[in-house]
Structure 1
Amino acid sequence: MIAGHLRREWCDSTSMLDERTAHARALFKGIAPAYGTPAEILSFGQYGRWRRALVRAMGLRASDVVLDVATGTGLIARDITKQYGCRVVGVDQSIEMIGRAQGLSDRVGADANALPFHDSRFDRLVFSYLLRYVADPPQTLRELVRVLKPGGALASVEFGVPPSPLPRIGWSVHALGVFPFATRAFGPEWAHVGAFLPHSIVDWAKEWPLERQVDMWHAAGITEIKTRRMTFGTGVLIKGRKRGG
């Protein structure tokens, strides 16, 4: 495939999508030109540091072929190619987002629940802010593991809610008060993101606390699992390896 070419692997009709997937696609369609902005605001400017920590956690080599699922505008892929020179294949359900991505060898518009790749295809796999948007996180994670080579590394980053009382109070004031107000300045699409995202993070943290996420990774066939809470727990990094190899 020619580098930079965009291949679609889905039907454009949202009637074929589950509710969460359709909502996520609609949510990010209007904000693709400046996707990184809400992450920077909500992470207290730490989003770039979290990305770099995620890339370092993967143990990359220049010869690795990496799959970046939910690549968005390709910020993680750009960091990987710049630092390690790996070939990175990006997947995202949003044509608007992935169409602006940089640092990708190949771009594929596809659903993370039905990746258009053979089993055991990739040396490394990275995903960010993904499982919170799918209807069945364990099933989606199993699909990601399917295309990873045995022994291959898997790593992810997601927003979190601080576990300690004082940081949690500060986060709540910022995320539930300041953030929704600040996003209104960017227009109606951003206002919708501002109203939705903080509550989505809270709901995810309640339904999938870190210990339960680790259990989900184990059940999907991942071993050597390590976790790291970043910036008082507002960011969560998880990494591991596919069994075998």
Structure 2
Amino acid sequence: MTDNSDQTTHFGYQTVNKEEKVEKVAEVFHSVAAKYDLMNDLMSMGIHRVWKRHTIACSGARSGNKILDLAGGTGDLTAKFSKIVGSEGQVVLADINESMLKVGRAKLHDMGIVGNVECVQANAEALPFADNTFDVITIAFGLRNVTDKDAALRSMYRVLKPGGRLLVLEFSKPTTEALTKIYDWYSFNLLPNMGKVITNDAESYQYLAESIRMHPDQETLKGMMEEAGFEETSYQNLTGGIVALHKGYKF
């Protein structure tokens, strides 16, 4: 009997071939790219901006740094980092999805942010950068969509400079049963309906809700980061564990 476990993975609650997941995730983000920012504000009631500001505050970013905003999508973190690193620094906005990157590039251009930002289409599992390139790497709400998360964490470790830090902002496991029940009801009832009304795409938001449930919990992700080589790993629960910010260093 052939073991196909290493050829398959999860796409939400479905079990699919790894190549098929890459295509399906791409379809989701091609579909939602144009209204991604609007839906983020509606889905989180604007709280995603607070989570992202907190991530930037914890990054230790400073003038002259080189920063990788991985799975950076429409460029929320890139815009803030660009101001911090200044003309001597650089921010690389990287995303695997061409549609998301196109929206992000246009938004940054409209904001007048062009001089110290580079947009790169890249797969997190095999980053196209030299070893020891970045002072800080952030990945916000992107890791759960990566097919091989372990490979992605190893790739991030490789391109991070010694002394650099990784910050992973991602949906996680609520800390109480009551909050879990409320969150589940919201995710599987309101969220797909919002997607249907705003983007005419309920299925993509059904997947996003399912992908959150399939993502490793706080302790599991912490262990995965340590396995990839990161040290002094820690996490902070935000909004009752609906979101967690993981941090790790390369020494």
Class of the TM-score when normalised by the shorter of the 2 chains? 0.7 to 0.9
**Which residue of 151, 173, 176 maps to 2:163?**
151
Q: CA RMSD in A?
A: 1.7
Q: Count the aligned residue pairs.
A: 223
Which of 196, 202, 212 does residue 207 from structure 2 map onto?
Answer: 196
Residues 131-182 of structure 1: CA deviation (Å, up to 9, x unaligned):
2112221111101111000110110111123120111111112111111112
Structure 1 distance, partners of 2:21, 2:84, is 34
Structure 2 length as normaliser, TM-score? 0.83
Is the contact made by 1:41 and 1:179 (CA closer than 8 Å) also made in structure 2?
no
Shift of 1:227: 0.6
Contact 1:20/1:134 (8 A) holds in 2: no
Give yes or no for the alignment of 1:225 onto 2:242.
no
Q: Match of 1:193, as an amino acid?
A: S
SS in 2 for 1:73: coil
- Structure 2 spans left out of the alignment, 5+ residues: 1-17
Moved segments of 4+, more than 4 Å: none
Contact 1:43 1:235 (8 Å CA) reproduced? no
Q: Aligned partners of 2:40, 2:51: CA distance in 1, in Å? A: 10
Alignment of 1:90-105 (within 5 A): 90-101=93-104, 102=108, 103=113, 105=117
1:83: how far off?
4.3
Report % sequence identity.
29
CA contact (8 A) 2:71 2:95 kept: yes
The equivalent residue for 1:14 is none
Q: Matched residues in 2 for 1:98 and 1:137: separation?
A: 21
Which residue number corresponds to residue 34 of structure 1?
35
- Determine helix, strand or coil for the equivalent of 1:61: coil
> Aligned partners of 1:19 and 1:68: how far apart in 2?
25
Q: TM-score, normalised by structure 1?
A: 0.85
Alignment-derived partner of residue 141 in structure 1? 153
Is the Cα–Cα contact under 8 Å of residues 133 and 159 in structure 2 kept in the other structure?
yes
Match of 1:73, as an amino acid?
T
Q: Could you tell me whether the CA contact under 8 Å between 1:43 and 1:234 is conserved in 2?
A: no
1:205-216 equivalent positions in 2, closer than 5 A: 208-216=216-224
Residue type at the aligned position of 2:247: K
Q: Residues of 1 paired with 2:196 and 2:85: CA distance?
A: 38
Offset of 1:97 from its aligned partner?
Answer: 1.1
